[in-house]
Amino acid sequence: MTPTVLTANAVYTMDPLAPTATAVAISAGRVVAVGSRREVLARAGADARIVHLDGVLLPGFIDAHHHFCLAAFDRRAVDLHVPSGSSIADLQARVALHRERAPGTGWLRLQGYDPLKLAERRAPTAAELDEVCSDRPLLVAAYSFHEGVLNTAGLAAMGWHAASPDPPHGVLCRRRGHLTGEVLEAAFFLAEAASRGSLLADSADAWLAEAHAHGRALLALGIVRVGDAAVPPAFDPLYDRAAAAGMLPVTVHRMPVGERSFLQPRGAGGRATGDGPAAAPTGPAKLFLDGADRCAVCLSGAQLAGMAGATLRRAATGGGLAALRAGMRLGRIRLAGTRFTIGEPFWEPEALRHAIRVAAGNGQQIAIHALGNWAVQRACDALDQVSELSERPGRPRLEHAMLLTPGLEKRIAASGAVAVVQPYFLHEIGDEVLGRGLPRGLSMNPLASLSRAGVTLAGSSDYPVAGCDVLRAIRSAVTRETSSGARLHSGEAISVADAFAAYTSGGAKALGVDHEAGTIAEGKIADLVLLSADPFITEPARLPDIAVLATWREGVMVHVAQ
C-alpha cells in the first residue's frame, strides 16, 4: 500500500522521547514514520502521497471513563441537565415533554438533574412526578447516576412500599414513615436495572443506531477511543453486533459490571481484558467501592466542624432551609475512633481483596471506583496486598480519586494505579463544592499533587455525568475555574502539556493499549486529530475556541469539520 505523508503546521506526538515533528507517514492504518519532512519522505519513498494540513496534528483523544452504552441507550430521552437556578416545575415540564414524545405503557427514564442546582435545593418527590406522569413507571436519574427518583407507579413496579427494607448499601428515602420516591446508590441501581431491562428488549436496533450517532459525535470532538465504565451483560451482544456491522465509529473498551446492579461485579466466566472484537474489546473489570455525592470520606472533628459552619453561614446569608437541606445530603455521619466518616465503602477489606483476585484470575485488569479519601485509602490497601495484579494485563485503575488528603497521592503512586480523573467536574460542580465548604486539608481533583507524586493521569468525562468536550476539560485542568469563574485549589493546576498527555498517552495506559495507541510513533495505530490552532501557545481560557478540523481512525479521515 502506498504511504500517505501528512505534513502540518506543527505535530505534537505526545511521546516524551520525540515530542514534536513536522510530518507523519501512515500506511495500512499504522504510523510508519514520524519526524522531519525530509526524514519522513525518505522513509515513505518516492511514490508516497503528500498531504499538507493547515493545522496542528496530535494523537486522537481518549476518554478513559465514558458511559457509552448508557449514553446511546438514553440518547432519545429529553435531557434533564437544567440550568442552575431552575425549579422543580422546570424539571416537571421536561418530564411532561418526554411523556408526550414516548407513547406506550412501559417504563420511562430520563437523566441529568442536579438537586443542588435546583432552586429548592432538593430532589423532586414521587408526588411531584405523579403530577406529570402517573400512569407509567418513571425513573428520573440525577446527573451522577448514583441516585434518582421514582414516581408512585415506579415504586409499585419495584415492589417497594413504606415497610420495605433498604437494600444493602442503598437507601429508600422516607419522610414521616412514607417513601418520598428518592432512591440512593444500591436502591437506585436496582431501579435503573429494572427500567433498562424493560426497555432494552424492544430497542436493540434503536441502540445500534444511537451508538453509531453517538460515536460520530465523539469523532467531531476528536475522541477516537473510550472506556465504557459500566457495561451490563445485556449490552454485550449489542456491542458484538455493532462491531460486526461497522457501527462503532470509535473503539469502545467495555468494562463489565453485573446485570441487576452496577454494584455487582461480573463473576467467573467473563471475558478477559482485551478479548472480543477490535472495535469493542473487553476492558477492565469494574468494582464500585463508594458512591458519588455520598462518597466514603473520613474527616477530623475540625474538618467536619468547618463543613457545618459553611452550611450554617450559607443558610444565614440567604440560603435558608434550602441550604440546610443541601448540607444534609452528604449522608450519615459516624464517629470512628477519633475521626468522623461520611458515607461508607461498599466492600469490606477482605471481600475487596477476594473480588480483585477473582477478576485477576479471569485475566481482567482492575478498575476501582473510589471517589472519597476513605475509599481511596481502602483501595490502595487492597491493591498493595494482592500480588496477583502484577501478572495481569494493564495497570490497576482508580476511577475518580477525587477527594484526597495529603499523602494519598503517594499511596496511589506506590500501588502502581492510574488515576482516571475528570477535570471538567471542576466546572460542573466546583461552585457547589465551594458552597458546601470543602474542609481544609481535603482537595478536589488534586491533579498537580498526583502528577508530582508520579501518578499517571488518564483524562475522562464520565459522560453523560458531565460534558465530554476534551478541550473544555483541559481548560478546567489548567485554569481550575468553576462555572462562576471562581478558582478551586488553583495550586492543583497542571500544564497544558500534562493535560493533553492525560487525554492521549495517559488514557492509553489506563486502557492497557499504550503499546499501540496514545502517541504518534512508528508502528502505532494512526488515530489522529487536527486542531485549528496550536493549543500549547493558546491562552488557556481560549482553548475551547480551538476547532477540531478533522479526525482519523486507523489512518482514514473519518470526520471533517463543516
347 vs 494: CA distance, rounded Å: 33
Residue 383 grid cell:
491493591
User: What kind and span of H or E run contains 513?
Assistant: none
Report angle CA 469, 480, 319 to the nearest 5 degrees: 100
Which pLDDT score is estimated for 314?
Answer: 63
Closest to 389 in 3D by CA, of 345, 352, 348, 344: 352
For the record, the C-alpha cell of 69 comes out as 452504552
Q: How far apart are CA 296 and CA 377, in angstroms?
A: 10
**Per-residue confidence (pLDDT) for residue 332, from 0 to 100:** 74
Instruction: Say how far apart CA 134 and CA 236 lie, in whole Å.
Output: 33
Output DSSP code: residue 541: G
Q: Delimit the domains of the chain by residue range.
A: 4-60+520-560, 74-200
The continuous run of DSSP H or E covering 31 comes out as strand 30-35
CA distance 68 to 229: 8
Q: What are phi and psi of 205, to 5 degrees?
A: -65, -40
Burial label for 496, CB within 10 Å (0-12, 13-18, 19+), is: middle
Pairwise CA distance, residues 234 & 195, whole Å: 13
pLDDT at 440: 85
Helices 349-361 and 373-385 cross at an angle (nearest 10°) of 50
According to DSSP, the residues that pair with 10 across neighbouring strands are: 56
Neighbour count for residue 276 (Cβ, 10 Å): 18
Quote the CA–CA distance of 375 and 289 in Å, as a whole number.
Answer: 6
Q: How far is CA 477 from CA 192, 386, 388, in A?
A: 32, 32, 34
pLDDT in tens, the chain (562 residues): 789 999 999 999 999 999 999 999 999 999 999 999 999 999 999 899 999 999 999 999 999 999 999 999 999 999 999 999 999 999 999 999 999 999 888 999 999 999 999 999 999 999 999 999 999 999 999 999 999 999 999 999 999 999 999 999 999 999 999 999 999 999 999 999 999 999 998 888 999 999 999 999 999 999 999 999 999 999 999 999 999 999 999 999 999 999 999 999 886 556 899 999 999 999 999 999 999 988 999 988 777 777 766 666 665 555 544 444 444 456 678 877 778 888 889 999 999 999 998 888 888 999 999 999 999 999 999 999 886 665 667 899 999 999 999 999 999 999 999 999 999 999 999 998 888 778 888 999 999 999 999 999 999 999 999 999 999 999 999 999 999 999 999 999 999 999 999 999 999 999 999 999 999 999 999 999 999 999 999 999 999 999 999 999 999 999 999 8
β-strands 339-342, 443-444 pairing: unpaired
Evaluate the omega torsion of the peptide bond into residue 464 and state whether it is cis, within 30 degrees of 0: yes
Angle at 472 between CA 215 and CA 556, to 5 degrees: 35
pLDDT for the residue 344: 87
**Integer CA distances (angstroms), 31 to 44, 69, 471, 555, in order:** 11, 30, 25, 8
CATH number for 4-60+520-560 (one of 3.40.50.2300, 2.30.40.10, 1.10.1060.10, 3.30.70.1170): it is 2.30.40.10
**What is the topology classification, in CATH, of domain 74-200?**
Diaminopimelate Epimerase; Chain A, domain 1 (3.10.310)
Reading the block at residue 241, the C-alpha cell is: 453486533
